[in-house]
Structure 1
């Protein structure tokens, strides 16, 4: 399978603080990569650099062969991005917001309406399509953010905490959707939830303090200790000095 995501020696420094330090990995079509780490590990910063929202201090990131710095528009055509917080226009209805996003993507007329309807169907938003976004629960707002990332059926998805705020049934539906889409896409899920990785990911990267500490399948990580939770604690807790 071809590598649709390529990250090579990516770093980001904010003054004297290094948020991401020399990170490299690739994600092929058909892979669901869990990007796992505690809060402040550098997950969201890495995702923002890949999505073109933050400029790297060094290194490169490519989506479907397009460099996100040198060819940002071309790279973003291949990308569906669900950022942390998923900003929307709260006074707009769900349907109006998705239609607005579709127009930004270049869709018009019946194709725009079909794209919006399909995205709402995938994320089970038809029942709230005429509600202002500001009146929705956190879980429904998250699903609106997910819907906008799927409108143009991109080959690459970068999802930052996609099930944040969802109830157990909603989590199950989103995970089922990700599994359904996985064979035709390269997907990165940034999360601090170990259950997310075990449930839907084919591979996991553990990052802490801006550095990649492990890159393996969830099963391989689990074999390193009595549970994936124990592996996670062992890899992310500071080591005692000898």
Structure 2
């Protein structure tokens, strides 16, 4: 696959603080990369380096083969950037602002009008097109920021919290727009919303204290959760301890939590050893004991669990996806 963004061994210091510490990754055409990390992890700094807003102290960034330092104009032509708190001119209207952006991008006449029209339609800004920006809601301002990022149809999109401030319907619209654009582009988006990673991203990287600690498809990262292949079971019985202790003795079961039941039922969660499948074993036990079950399902794993473990050091680095990981 064609690599559109290549980041090699980026380092950035602010006095004694290591904001970015040896980060390396690639993004291919067709990928939507979720950029995850706690506040202060180095996400926004990395994005600013990739887009050429600030310089790295070491390392390199290439956009479609153009180095962001040595060929900045060529590299930046390929990029659309939605920064955190995108600056907008309050006394302008969206019409005036997008016209200004289009002219900066060297579009004139019919081509300028065509691009503005398509962008306004994609971002649903028509109802506020001639309203002063300072009077717009946070959601409309965010959509206007996204509009300026996609107006020139760039190959690479860098989106810092693209759905911040949007209501649920607007979030759905923006996510659908991102998915629709992803086929021909490489998209990097930072988000604190793990549901967004599941619904939009084909891959995610996790950064903590300036270092990359995880890289993989959401489904792969989820397998590192203690909830991966855990089985939740409700049985019609008052004797929860018998259910718990019986399941705990099964091969492949690491531990069993007894949860609050209701109306004469017992609810338990059985965690598997190293994520192996324990459903068939538990099903056999249910048949052997003639348990009357009310609920039985298998967890795929929880991204919030993996995120917390990786960013607090409870789980080791997961960057085994060598197809994507750059090795110096």
The alignment's TM-score, normalised by the length of structure 1, stands at: 0.97
Could you tell me which runs of 5 or more consecutive residues in structure 1 were left unpaired when the two chains were aligned.
none
Question: What residue in structure 2 maps to residue 214 of structure 1?
Answer: 214
Contact kept? 1:19, 1:210, Cα under 8 Å: yes
Of 310, 315, 325, 1:235 maps to 310
Alignment of 1:149-188 (within 5 A): 149-188=149-188
Alpha-carbon distance between aligned partners in 2 of 1:193 and 1:42, rounded to the nearest angstrom:
17
Alignment of 1:50-89 (within 5 A): 50-89=50-89
Question: What residue in structure 2 maps to residue 4 of structure 1?
Answer: 4
Report SS of the residue matched to 1:162: coil
Bigger relative CO (Cα 8 Å, ≥ 6 apart): 1
Give, in angstroms, the shift of residue 15 of structure 1: 1.0
Alpha-carbon distance between aligned partners in 2 of 1:38 and 1:17, rounded to the nearest angstrom:
16
Report SS of the residue matched to 1:115: helix
Alpha-carbon distance between aligned partners in 1 of 2:183 and 2:105, rounded to the nearest angstrom:
24
Question: What residue in structure 2 maps to residue 98 of structure 1?
Answer: 98
Report SS of the residue matched to 1:55: coil
Alpha-carbon distance between aligned partners in 2 of 1:214 and 1:128, rounded to the nearest angstrom:
41
Give, in angstroms, the shift of residue 85 of structure 1: 0.4
Alpha-carbon distance between aligned partners in 1 of 2:152 and 2:305, rounded to the nearest angstrom:
39
Deviation beyond 4 Å, 4+ runs, structure 1: none
Alpha-carbon distance between aligned partners in 2 of 1:184 and 1:238, rounded to the nearest angstrom:
36
Report SS of the residue matched to 1:38: coil
What per-residue deviation string (whole Å, max 9, x for no partner) do you get for residues 74-121 of structure 1? 101000000000111111000100000000000111111111111111
Question: What residue in structure 2 maps to residue 118 of structure 1?
Answer: 118
Alpha-carbon distance between aligned partners in 1 of 2:192 and 2:40, rounded to the nearest angstrom:
10
Contact kept? 1:213, 1:235, Cα under 8 Å: yes
Aligned residues: 240
Question: What residue in structure 1 maps to residue 238 of structure 2?
Answer: none
Give, in angstroms, the shift of residue 60 of structure 1: 0.2
Question: What residue in structure 2 maps to residue 37 of structure 1?
Answer: 37
Could you tell me which runs of 5 or more consecutive residues in structure 2 were left unpaired when the two chains were aligned.
226-300, 315-328
Give, in angstroms, the shift of residue 223 of structure 1: 1.0
Alpha-carbon distance between aligned partners in 2 of 1:112 and 1:73, rounded to the nearest angstrom:
20
Give, in angstroms, the shift of residue 238 of structure 1: 4.9
The alignment's TM-score, normalised by the length of structure 2, stands at: 0.72
Give, in angstroms, the shift of residue 215 of structure 1: 0.2
The farther-off stretch of 229-238 and 87-96 is: 229-238
**Within the alignment, does 1:194 sit opposite 2:194 as a pair?**
yes
Contact kept? 1:37, 1:207, Cα under 8 Å: yes
Alpha-carbon distance between aligned partners in 1 of 2:23 and 2:138, rounded to the nearest angstrom:
32
RMSD: 1.1
Give, in angstroms, the shift of residue 213 of structure 1: 0.3
Question: What residue in structure 1 maps to residue 127 of structure 2?
Answer: 127
Alpha-carbon distance between aligned partners in 2 of 1:11 and 1:118, rounded to the nearest angstrom:
38
Whichever of the two has the greater Rg, that structure is 2
